Amino acid sequence: MGFSWRLLPGFALSEIGGSGRDRPGLLAAVSLRPEFAFGFRNVLADIVWLEAVQVAGNVEMTPADYDRLYELLNVEANFDPKFDIPYLFGGLVLGESPDHAQKALEIFERGKKEYSADWRFPFFIGYTNYFSLGETESAGKAMAEAAKLPGSPSYLPGLASRMLTEAREPEAALALLETITRQENDPVRRAVLERRIREVTVERDLQALEGAVKSYREKTGAVPRELSDLVRAGILSGIPEEPNGGRYLMEPGGKVRSDRVSQRLRVFQSR
């Protein structure tokens, strides 16, 4: 298999077609045979990790960025499988994209293989299953597995049972998320969890507003021109505050959206 002489490919491998698909960057090629790192495995892992941090730090991550992050995390793990932070942080960021949640699970599973006694890996597998894929059963099982491992927080058994019993309701998800966030000590992971809380809050508000629009339509036979019509009609006591500092807007046809969130969470929408 050939490789590009660039240290790291500047774009996701899946983005390029033809012969380019088989040509990873030099570090990716070396990572498949880490012996050829000539004793510099850790430092090469660090170079790839720093690149992954830069990709994950983008404010607006595109699908190509998520693909690239996934590849960088795998290259990093090839060089140094014992480095735990990339699995935890990278998996958490990947899980933010619904299209990459399965890849996030792969990253967590890879970390779990290296650290089979560490409760955080099954915990984040459960987290991703619940909040990104809406797989409540798998989530509950993973949380129950995490609860059995040494050092796991005392709230985990309760969390596992709630995940197994409660439906995919934003309100229930927010309660779980707030519990998890309160216990999280790492500031970076905490920031990711807080971002997820805002996303779920937006979804909860949008569902409530769309429910109110439906009631307004049933009551008046017309679609409200703006959200304040819902308050004037006495259906809502007020318009909720957008948690990202933006506004909720009414679209033609009765759809409501946030001016700060481009993609809604599919997990909490009815299947």
- Residues forming the site for other proteins (CB under 8 A): 33, 35-36, 38-43, 45-46, 49-50, 53-54, 80, 82-83, 85, 88-89, 186, 188
Q: Please say which residue, 13 or 29, places its beta carbon nearer to other proteins.
A: 29
CA triple 260-264-265, angle to 5 deg: 130
Q: How far is the CB of 215 from other proteins (least distance, A)?
A: 45
Helix (H, G, I), strand (E, B) or coil at 256: strand
Q: How many helices (H) and strands (E) does the chain have?
A: 12, 2
Q: Please say which residue, 51 or 135, places its beta carbon nearer to other proteins.
A: 51
Rounded to whole angstroms, the Cα distance separating 112 from 121 reads 5
Q: How far is the CB of 238 from other proteins (least distance, A)?
A: 39
Q: Please say which residue, 46 or 109, places its beta carbon nearer to other proteins.
A: 46
Q: Please say which residue, 36 or 241, places its beta carbon nearer to other proteins.
A: 36
CA triple 135-140-142, angle to 5 deg: 95
Q: Where are the beta strands (DSSP E) in the chain?
A: 248-250, 256-258
Closest to 70 (Cα-Cα) out of 47, 99, 43: 99
Closest to 259 (Cα-Cα) out of 244, 242, 247: 247
Rounded to whole angstroms, the Cα distance separating 65 from 261 reads 18
Rounded to whole angstroms, the Cα distance separating 152 from 147 reads 6
Q: How far is the CB of 75 from other proteins (least distance, A)?
A: 16
Q: How far is the CB of 57 from other proteins (least distance, A)?
A: 9
Q: How far is the CB of 90 from other proteins (least distance, A)?
A: 9
Q: Please say which residue, 40 or 155, places its beta carbon nearer to other proteins.
A: 40
Q: Please say which residue, 11 or 36, places its beta carbon nearer to other proteins.
A: 36
* Neighbouring-strand partners of residue 248: 258
Q: How far is the CB of 220 from other proteins (least distance, A)?
A: 52
* Neighbouring-strand partners of residue 256: 250
Q: Please say which residue, 49 or 127, places its beta carbon nearer to other proteins.
A: 49
Q: How far is the CB of 129 from other proteins (least distance, A)?
A: 23
